[in-house]
Each structure stands twice: as C-alpha cells, then as structure tokens.
Amino acid sequence: MIDVLLILFAFVFLLALCGLIGLATDRLTRAPEPERKPDPFTSRQFKSDEIAHLVHQIAIHDAIHPISPANYHDSTQNSIEHWVSERTGRRFVMSSKDWFHIARAWYVTRDQDLHNRCESLKQRLALNS
C-alpha cells in the first residue's frame, strides 16, 4: 500500500515539475509584446497658423467666458471654428473629440498664467501628443 502511495506521489511530483518547466520555457521563449504607441492628441495635425489662431481665440473666449467642462459639448466649438476660419482665410474644422481634448487641456491649466497656458497648448498641438 505504501509503495502505491509513493509511486502516486512521485507521479504527481513529476507532473507538477513538468508543468513548472513548461511554464518557465514559455516565459523565456515568448516574444516580447509590441510597444503600444499613445493615441495622438488630435485626429489630424493642425497647421502652424491654425494652431496660433486657435490658441489665440481660445484665450480670448476664455477671458470673456471661462472654458470649463460645460463647454466640452456646447456651441463653443462652433464659435472657435468660425473665428479661426476667418483668421486663416480657409475653413477650419475640428472633430468633437479633438475639441474635447483641446478644451480639457486648456481647462486643466486654469491655475497657470496665460502665457504658460498658451505655450503649453501650442506645444501639445504642434507635437500632436
């Protein structure tokens, strides 16, 4: 009876050992996961004059009516697009998702001075990251 138990114990031990060896070889031979690139800040790369006028118009609008989360999905986007279009001389359009990211990036810097806010947003739009 003890012989049967020892054989059974040895069998289970060898089975567990094979499982651990298999797990270790899988970990060692597995290909590394590809590095995930972050999503771009906006869906398209804005031109430099669009960035300059966009940031300028956001700063003007914010001075009159501070941009807050309530403006993420209202007519503020249309107003900004209209003014940037007039300043650049061509139609300027941004998606609702782009406006959300831009307005949120502006809002979170509300405790900084105006110059730093503008430069930060310009850089973020220029790098699109």
How many CA within 13 A on the CB side of residue 33? 4
Tokens of 16: 């567990």
Q: Where are the domains of the chain?
A: 48-127
For 10-52, what is each residue's pLDDT tens digit?
Answer: 888 888 888 788 777 777 778 788 888 888 999 999 999 999 9
Do residues 102 and 94 touch, judged by C-beta distance below 8 A?
yes
- State in Å, rounded, how far the first CA of the chain is from the last one: 70
Q: Which amino acid is at 121?
A: L
Q: Residues 6 or more apart from 49 whose CB is under 8 A from it?
A: 88
Q: Whole-number mean pLDDT of the chain?
A: 91
Q: How many CB atoms lie within 10 A of CB 113?
A: 8
**Rg of the chain over all Cα atoms, to the nearest angstrom:** 29
- Least confident range of 27-31, 44-48, 88-92, 106-110: 27-31
Q: Is residue 13 packed enough to be buried (19+ CB in 10 Å), middle (13-18) or exposed (0-12)?
A: exposed
pLDDT at 102 over 80: yes
pTM (global) more than 0.85: no
